Structure formats: structure tokens, C-alpha cells
């Protein structure tokens, strides 16, 4: 059976091999998982549509005094299991359709982790590189004002995404708090720790990738101290995953950035290679031999973890992948066509919806800390993340063992069954 459920990539609106938009991909995923379950068709029909999409005009006064009116969106897909949750991006390709597709995808991500949250996504159509710091602040504050009626710690909780960061969330939180007349840190996550952000949030997606690599290798009887791993991308996700796996005894034999990859079959000193945060795009700077990113994807390793961008394993190169196992660290690195080829070749692909879900999980921890006004230590965050990831892995593994489906389909089935159950219990309003 074809897996048929690759995730909507977040770097581009469409999969170049299928020309599918994020919304079309999200609907295909929904229908594919629904076909495996005996669900009320009315619930499935409901889930094909967002609950609400808010489109706003956001006037921006530029530093030169001129005013531009930009367009922003907030798509709220489903909140049957808890408040809407998802990022706000500043990107020239933001569109209503993309926001709806990615909001739907957030619904499955929070559900697969069994977090009491739903799915949302939003953003402003703008190239963030054209914004000065003061323009960025004014734009964020005005956007917070425009979204005031539909966001809040009990209704919809945004987070950073492409083109936005902890400082953006700090301004958003401040603007919302001023409007409310009380400091409301729980309205957004991904804030700096000084104002209610969580320790361990930045490292969480990479940490979850490492945990899922470890669990998957246990499942396939691959001992950690004998494991070779290749990781594409050495940013927040890739570097954190690489360093954790290295500290657990694995050999990280290749890592890369946009300029190329470094490779050493006996294992790289990953602590000494600068991550994207430490020194951008410097992975290959002091390397004697550099290989291309495409070559990294085709190395003969136990585990390949693409942690850079979407759509890197395609119908063209999936046949050349020699890894025994692929774990998706980035969002949507394996295209729909590649997914089918890898499945036919018997190469398991552990999906992004599970592997990089450490980010939204620690966002949930941040929200808990904010509404309880009680900070957790980094140790506690990491311990709770470990528990949540292993629990989610075990739940997906049970679906995988029970049904003749791919890991991706198993994860979507689990997520959809949880969301559908919530709808069934609460009842659909005709
Ligand atoms: P980042 O900007 O910190 O790092 C990205 C890395 O990928 C850099 O090393 C960069 O040089 C490299 N890269 C960029 N383009 C490349 C290319 N064409 N070929 C090879 N390498 C390339 O980004 P990040 O936060 O680590 O995110 C990576 C991926 O993980 C994205 O798909 C992102 O959406 C996803 N993700 C991130 C988070 C998070 O909270 N950081 C959470 C979940 C998923």
C-alpha cells in the first residue's frame, strides 16, 4: 500500500513533484488516514475545513514615514481537543490556503503527541529581510492588535515560525497584555525565558529527533554504540540532534549546511563544528574534504536524518538512498513520490509529525508554566519531554504493529482517531 501521506513542506507552498498545495496535501493525508478507520463521514467532512480564517489588513509605517498596508492571516483548523496552537510566519509566500493546510497539519501534530491543543497557523505576507528592527516591532504589535479577538491563552496560542523569533513573540505578548490590562504570558509560546519562555525550547525539536532515532533503532535492533548517522542541516534541529546522538555513543559521520557536507566514516567531532546559531554556514569552513548535500543523502549509513528544509528526498534520488532508516527532522523533507519509493524498497521513514514534535511539546510546557506562574528547571523540561516522546513513540508503534501501514500512516491514523473521538464525544452541531 502506498503511504500517501507525506507532510506539507513548510518552506514552499507546493510539492514540486505533484504541484500540490499545502492544503491539498493536508486533505489527502486526512482522507488517506480516514480510509483506514471506521469514522463518522460527517466528522471527516468537518475536518476538511478550518473552523475560522481571519484575514486582516496590517498598516505598517516604514522608517521613512511612508505607510504600506500588508495582509495577514490566522487560520484556526480545529480546537476539539484544546486551544488552537501554531506558528506565525513573516514570509512573502504566506497565503490563506497555505495557512489552512499548515493549521490542519498542526492539528495532527498536537494530536499525535496527545497534547490538549488543536491546530492553527498564520502570518503576514512580507519579506522579513526588508524590515528594520523598528518596522518589525511596529508590524508585530499592530498584527497582535488585529488578532486580539481571536487569540488568547485559552483560545489560540501563536508561536515563532519562519521569519519570526523569540523577540517577535515578546512584542506580541506585550501588545496583547497592554490591550488586556494584565500581563498574559500564556498568549504565545517561544518567548525569551526572562518573560515566561521555557528553558529547553530551542533545543527541543532536535532533542526529540534524537529520542526518536534512539527508539526506532531499539525497535530495529540497532545498538547505539554501533550506529552511523548522517544529518543534513546543522541548525537548531540538526546540531542539537547530532550532539545528543554523539553523547549517547552514536557515530555522526556526516553533517551539512547550505554550502556542503563534512564526512568522516569514523565519526565527526560534532561539538567542535559550529552550528547555524553559533556561526552561520560555517560547517565546511575548516574541513579538508567537503562533499555535496546530495552525496550526504546517499551515504551508506544506519540512519539518515534530513534536518534542513523540505522536499530534499524526491522521486529522483529516493532510489539512491542507502540508509537503513530515515528519520524526518525537517518538515516535509521526503516528497510523496519518494515516500512510495522508499516504502517499496523497505526503507522505513519515521515522520516529522512525530520526530520533530519536541518543539510543540515544550511549547505546551511553556504554556503550562505561564498559566501556573511557575517556572520549570531545564532538567525537568528535558525529563518531561523524554516521557512525552517515548509515550508518543509507543502509541505510534502500536498502530504500526497492528496494521499493515507505513510509520507515517500509523502516526496519522493515531492523530486522526484522537481528533475524531473528541468530535464524536462533544457532538457535531448540525
Ligand atoms: P535553522 O535555520 O536553525 O538551520 C537550518 C540548517 O539547514 C542550516 O544549517 C542551513 O545551512 C541548512 N540548510 C539550509 N538550506 C539547505 C540546503 N538547501 N541544503 C542543505 N542544508 C541547508 O533551521 P531549524 O530551526 O533547524 O529548522 C530546520 C527544519 O526543521 C525546518 O524544516 C523547520 O521547519 C523544521 N522544524 C524546526 C523547528 C524549530 O523549532 N526550530 C521545529 C520543528 C521543525
Residue 294, in any domain of the structure: yes
If you measure from the C-alpha of residue 370 to the centroid of ligand 1, how many angstroms do you get, rounded to a whole number?
A: 28
In order of 180, 230, 232, 251, 347, the CA distances from 266 in angstroms are 57, 12, 18, 7, 24
Domain end position, chosen among 323, 352, 381:
352
Task: Supply the CATH number for residue 239's domain.
Answer: 3.40.50.720
Q: Which of 244, 309, 363 to mutate to test the pocket of ligand 1 (most atoms within 8 A of CB)?
A: 309
If you measure from the C-alpha of residue 308 to the centroid of ligand 1, how many angstroms do you get, rounded to a whole number?
A: 4
Alpha carbon distance 15, 5 (integer Å): 12
| pLDDT tens track for 63-103 | 999 999 999 999 999 999 999 999 999 999 999 999 999 99
Alpha carbon distance 264, 99 (integer Å): 41
Range of the domain at 345: 204-352
202 lines ligand 1 (CB under 6 A): no
pLDDT at 25 over 60: yes
Domain end position, chosen among 352, 381, 399:
352
- The confidence score (pLDDT) of residue 3 equals 38
- The confidence score (pLDDT) of residue 286 equals 85
Residue 427, in any domain of the structure: no
293 lines ligand 1 (CB under 6 A): yes
Question: Can you tell me whether residue 48 is helix, strand or coil?
Answer: coil
Give 160 or 18, the one with higher predicted confidence.
Answer: 160
In order of 10, 111, 257, the CA distances from 413 in angstroms are 22, 10, 34
Alpha carbon distance 320, 306 (integer Å): 15
Would the CA dihedral through 137, 141, 144, 146 be positive or negative? negative
220 and 175 together in one domain: no
92 and 217 together in one domain: no
CB of 326 within 8 A of CB of 342? Answer: yes
- The confidence score (pLDDT) of residue 10 equals 52
Alpha carbon distance 201, 213 (integer Å): 19
- The confidence score (pLDDT) of residue 429 equals 65
Domain end position, chosen among 320, 352, 384:
352
Residue 34, in any domain of the structure: no
Residue 341, in any domain of the structure: yes
Whole-model pTM?
Answer: 0.95
The total domain count for the chain is 2
Q: Which of 197, 200, 210, 199 is CA-nearest to residue 239?
A: 210
Amino acid at each position: 500500500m502506498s503511504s500517501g501521506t507525506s507532510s506539507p513542506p513548510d518552506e514552499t507552498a507546493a510539492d514540486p513533484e505533484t504541484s500540490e498545495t499545502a492544503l491539498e496535501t493536508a486533505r489527502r493525508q486526512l482522507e488517506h488516514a480516514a480510509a483506514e478507520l471506521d469514522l463518522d463521514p460527517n466528522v471527516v467532512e468537518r475536518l476538511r475545513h478550518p473552523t475560522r480564517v481571519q484575514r486582516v489588513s496590517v498598516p505598517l509605517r516604514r522608517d521613512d514615514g511612508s505607510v504600506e498596508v500588508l495582509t495577514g492571516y490566522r487560520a484556526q483548523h480545529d480546537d476539539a481537543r484544546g486551544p488552537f496552537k501554531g506558528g506565525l510566519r513573516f514570509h512573502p509566500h504566506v497565503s490563506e490556503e497555505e495557512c489552512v493546510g499548515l493549521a490542519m497539519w498542526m492539528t495532527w501534530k498536537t494530536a499525535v503527541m496527545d497534547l490538549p491543543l488543536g491546530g492553527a497557523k498564520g502570518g503576514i505576507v512580507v519579506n522579513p529581510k526588508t524590515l528594520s528592527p523598528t518596522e518589525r516591532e511596529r508590524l508585530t504589535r499592530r498584527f497582535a492588535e488585529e488578532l486580539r479577538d481571536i487569540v488568547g491563552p485559552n483560545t489560540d496560542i501563536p508561536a515563532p515560525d519562519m521569519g519570526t523569533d523569540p523577540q517577535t513573540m515578546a512584542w506580541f505578548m506585550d501588545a496583547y497584555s497592554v490591550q488586556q490590562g494584565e500581563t498574559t504570558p500564556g498568549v504565545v509560546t517561544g518567548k525569551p525565558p526572562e518573560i515566561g519562555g521555557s528553558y529547553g525550547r530551542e533545543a527541543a525539536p532536535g532533542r526529540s529527533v534524537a529520542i526518536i532515532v534512539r527508539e526506532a533503532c531499539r525497535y530495529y535492533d540497532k545498538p547505539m554504540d554501533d550506529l552511523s548517522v548522517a544529518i543534513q542541516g546543522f541548525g537548531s534541529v540538526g546540531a542539537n540532534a547530532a550532539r545528543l546522538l554523539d553523547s549517547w555513543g552514536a557515530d555522526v559521520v556526516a553533517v551539512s549546511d547550505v554550502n556542503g557536507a563534512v564526512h568522516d566514516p569514523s565519526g565527526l567531532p560534532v561539538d567542535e563544528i559550529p552550528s547555524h546559531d553559533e556561526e552561520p554556514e560555517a560547517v565546511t569552513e575548516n574541513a579538508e574534504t567537503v562533499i555535496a548535500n546530495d552525496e550526504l543523502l546517499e551515504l551508506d549509513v544506519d540512519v539518515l536524518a534530513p534536518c534542513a528544509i523540505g522536499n530534499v528526498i524526491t522521486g529522483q534520488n529516493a532510489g539512491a538512498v542507502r540508509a537503513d532508516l530515515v528519520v524526518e527532522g525537517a518538515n516535509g523533507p521526503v516528497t510523496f513520490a519518494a515516500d512510495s519509493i522508499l516504502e517499496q524498497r523497505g526503507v522505513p521513514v519515521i515522520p516529522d509529525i512525530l520526530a520533530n514534535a519536541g518543539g510543540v511539546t515544550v511549547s505546551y510546557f511553556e504554556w503550562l508554566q505561564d498559566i501556573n506562574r511557575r517556572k520549570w528547571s531545564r532538567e525537568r523540561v528535558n525529563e518531561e519531554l523524554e516521557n512525552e516522546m517515548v509515550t508518543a513513540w509507543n502509541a505510534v508503534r502500536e498502530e504500526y504493529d497492528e496494521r499493515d501501514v507505513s510509520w507515517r500512516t500509523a502516526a496519522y491514523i493515531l492523530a486522526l482517531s484522537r481528533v475524531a473521538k473528541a468530535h464524536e464525544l462533544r457532538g457535531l452541531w448540525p
